[in-house]
Chain A
Amino acid sequence: MTSTRRQSRRFVSYGLIAGGLALFSLGARDLLESQTGQVQAHREFDSIESAKPSPFPSSRRVATQPAPQPGDAVAKLIIPRLDTELYVVEGDGAGELRRGPGHMAGTPMPGQDGNCIIAGHRDTHFRVLKDIRKGDAIVLQTGAGEYTYRVSATQVVSPSNTASLRPTRDAELHLITCYPFYYLGSAPQRFVVRAKLQEDSQPGGRALPAGPDPF
């Protein structure tokens, strides 16, 4: 009897240790990947920048940029007042958001007309949004240029309120993360930052637009 109890206790203890280690590993992986993912995205983004065509191309034929694949680094997000630089990857799936803020597939790219949506984890990359204020500048650098948005509003909404995901006529940016920022477990609400493209925001002009070769 005692031996049976001892064995069952040992079995339970091994199970708890194994489960605990597995959970710990998953948490550590997420935390680690949020850092390494940004380093990798930084490299990818820099390679895109260096591969940009020259403003004075020597060749008349210029390759157009292919559409980004999920996980590709597509933009650099800068919030000057918060001294923040983040690399945005394409897609908003779990894998992409572990690496960095994700540009929601199907929404316009930064600088384009319409509602550009970028989501990020509240407990890693987008925790800085807790300090963002109306009027803050958000700069997005992409292969096509640099675009400055100005925060026009922040709001806390329920997850079922998808008004911020709807298409818009003008060039807008929505940053979405979970709320409250400090919350153990699955946060019950969403924090939405709405920003509008500044009219004086100009593309860099170094990359040629996609389309048929005019020559």
Chain B
Amino acid sequence: MNIRNFTFSAIALAMLGMLAAPNQIAAQPLNDRVEVNLPYSVTIGDKILQPGNYTIQQLDSSGANSPVLLIYGDNGMKFETSAMTISALENRTQSDTRVILHHIGNDYYFDKIWIQGKDYGYEFVLPNNVKQRENEASQPVSVTASASSMPAAPAPPAAAAEPAPAPEPVPAPEPAPAAVQAETPPNTANREMTEPAPAPAPELTPSPAADETPTMPHTDAGWLIMLLSGGTLTGVGASLRRKR
């Protein structure tokens, strides 16, 4: 076999290898995780989160970015509740991680969570009855928080402390490792909720159908590489056939 034939064969093998290779190497998804110190009692769905440290973690949904957030208390050991969110996009990446609260009357509700270094965040949906009250007096309150991304794979076997309206069995995470501690503002005036007003929030309850996050469509036609590969293979085959 001369050099010409060897070159043709090498090109053909390279083309075949390229075609046989998987289209995408699946990237390991990272789930967002936020540590926050809530200075106030915050109502979410039918649950009231007392002031303190909480871990807010994106639900692991097998590679897709899940809109469901899981909230843990007690240093990440106790599952508190879950919430369905909608995406909030920004044109620029966030300089810091922030948890924005609605302040409506005497109550606080989650509004948005922005993640440092990301151009997206999570927006909570207010229950309808709260939306009506929002017109009365609402003032956003920012709470400093810190975020980390953790691999989606680990699923601690510990059971949830209490039943929750999560769409899947919700495992409690391991205690937050490596210390991503929230930088709490020096606000210690914890307001007590005299009237909890547990608003049933159907929007906040994650439904199984809504949890099925679609995947990005495959938008490569690939006609060019098929034409090139086909032409090359045909050329190699023809040259081999002509060779005596």
Which chain B residues numbered 33 to 48 have a C-beta less than 8 Å away from chain A? Answer: none
Q: How many Å from the CB of A29 to the closest CB on chain B?
A: 8
Docked complex: B205-233 residues within 8 A CB-CB of A: 210, 213-233
A12-20, A72-80, A202-210: which lies at the interface: A12-20
A158 x B221 contact (CB < 8 A): no
| Distance of A96 from chain B, by nearest CB (Å) | 10
Residues of chain A contacted by B235 (CB below 8 angstroms): 20
Q: Name the residue on A nearest B229 (C-beta).
A: A23
Q: Is the CB of A28 within 8 A of B24?
A: no
With A12-B240, A24-B234, A158-B27 in contact, is A121–B219 under 8 Å at CB? Answer: yes
Stretch of B86-94, B104-112, B142-150, B187-195 lying at the A interface:
B86-94
Query: Whole-angstrom distance between the alpha carbons of A101 and B86 in the complex?
Result: 25
Alpha-carbon distance between A51 and B114 when the two chains are bound, in angstroms: 47
Q: Is A163 an interface residue (CB 8 A)?
A: yes
B89 touches A164 (CB 8 A): yes
Docked Cα-Cα span, A188 to B23, in Å, equals 9
**CB of A160 within 8 Å of the partner chain:** yes
Also in contact, A162 and B216, with CB within 8 A (given A185-B18, A188-B24) = yes
With a cutoff of 8 Å between Cβ atoms, the chain B residues found around residue A104 in the complex are: 214, 217
Question: Roughly how many angstroms separate A120 CA and B210 CA in the complex, as a whole number?
Answer: 24
Can you name the residue of chain A whose Cβ is closest to the Cβ of B240? Answer: A13
Segment among B62-70, B75-83, B155-163, B171-179 that sits at the interface with chain A:
B62-70
- Complex interface: chain B residues within 8 A of A119 (CB): 217, 219
A169 interfacial contact with B, CB 8 Å: yes
Is the beta-carbon distance between B87 and A23 smaller than 8 angstroms?
A: no
Interface size class on chain A is: 35 or more
With A16-B234, A20-B234, A20-B237 as contacts: A28 and B91 at CB distance below 8 Å: no
Tell me if A198 is interfacial: C-beta within 8 Å of chain B.
no
Interface of B is mostly: mixed
| Contact status of A20 and B229, CB under 8 A, knowing A14-B237, A30-B222 | yes
Given known pairs A10-B241, A104-B217, A194-B89, the reply for A24 and B230 (CB within 8 Å) is yes
Instruction: Give the residues from 7 to 21 in chain B that come closer than 8 angstroms, CB to CB, to chain A.
Output: 12, 18-19
Closest B residue to A126 by beta carbon equals: B219
Contact A160 B27 (CB under 8 A): yes
Q: Which of B217, B221, B241 touches A124 (beta carbons < 8 Å)?
A: B221
Are B225 and A166 closer than 8 Å at their CB atoms? no
A97 within 8 A of partner (CB): yes
CB < 8 Å neighbour of A13 from B123, B227, B231, B238: B238
Report the Cα distance A179→B232, complex, angstroms.
Answer: 25
Q: Does B236 contact A (CB under 8 A)?
A: yes
Contact indicator A159/B12 (Cβ below 8 Å): no
Q: Nearest Cβ in chain B — how far from A30, in angstroms?
A: 4
In angstroms, Cα B216 to Cα A59, docked, is 44
Q: Is B119 an interface residue (CB 8 A)?
A: yes
Q: By the criterion CB–CB under 8 Å, are A9 and B221 in contact?
A: no
**How many angstroms from the CA of A163 to the CA of B227 in the assembled complex?**
34
**A-contacting residues of B (Cβ < 8 Å)?**
12, 18-19, 23-24, 26-27, 29, 63-65, 67, 86-87, 89, 91, 119-120, 123, 125, 210, 213-238, 240-241, 243
List 5 A–B pairs whose Cβ atoms lie within 8 Å, in order of A's numbering: A16-B234, A20-B234, A123-B224, A160-B64, A184-B228
Chain A to chain B: the 3 pairs with minimum beta-carbon distance, closest first: A24-B230, A16-B237, A20-B233
